[in-house]
Structure 1
């Protein structure tokens, strides 16, 4: 279906420039689409079929407001591209993080196998205790449940 008001060439050029500018800031296609009010597949199509426009303005324009503070340096290593890093339920003590970083093999980035086994064993014991507690609480809840209201038989009453 054709639109009644087609997009002007200047609007299209501005949108393409804005998509490329936001993509240069390493935003996802969906984040760019949300900002611009377009579909994320449109963002992907624009990025794959067009080139970033040349900057025609001088990037050293005078600022009337102070420059924003620079982002703090990243202290955690980036992931290897296997997807997003798992989020922790509770923040780790910074000293613990430093200790783990010191124990990592600098060539492979892996922790020693014995340490990984010890951590997994401790975590498995903790998980087992949590599951046992959940089962115990569920069993207590079943025994203290009040009897169901209504008829004793499971048959539904049929209206005459």
Structure 2
């Protein structure tokens, strides 16, 4: 069986690819299977599975979007190194693709600590009196 596109590596990514090919490109299950290199019954199971909940545009505690009206695309600001991606794939549940709840809590807690550091640094910088030279104050540096 020759494939046009390689099969996505995670369950969620594969299901998203199957849904895209079925809904947007209006391909048959067999054609989707040929393109992704999977069985046509797998395509049928993926389409029968409940659709994932739509992702939020920004995190609940994220700062407001810029006032330019430009839509912000949800993405990572920095690419993950291959070892981190591999580690996350190993930790993910093979049936659902979800990461363990404890790991998600640890990531969330670390992000909350970083946000609090940023907020404190911003508040300190705004509380500083303006220099007499007319230049803006030096930017506060938050250690990682």
Category of TM-score, reference length = shorter chain: 0.3 to 0.5
If you compute each CA radius of gyration, which structure gives the higher value, 1 or 2? Answer: 1
TM-score by length of 2: 0.43
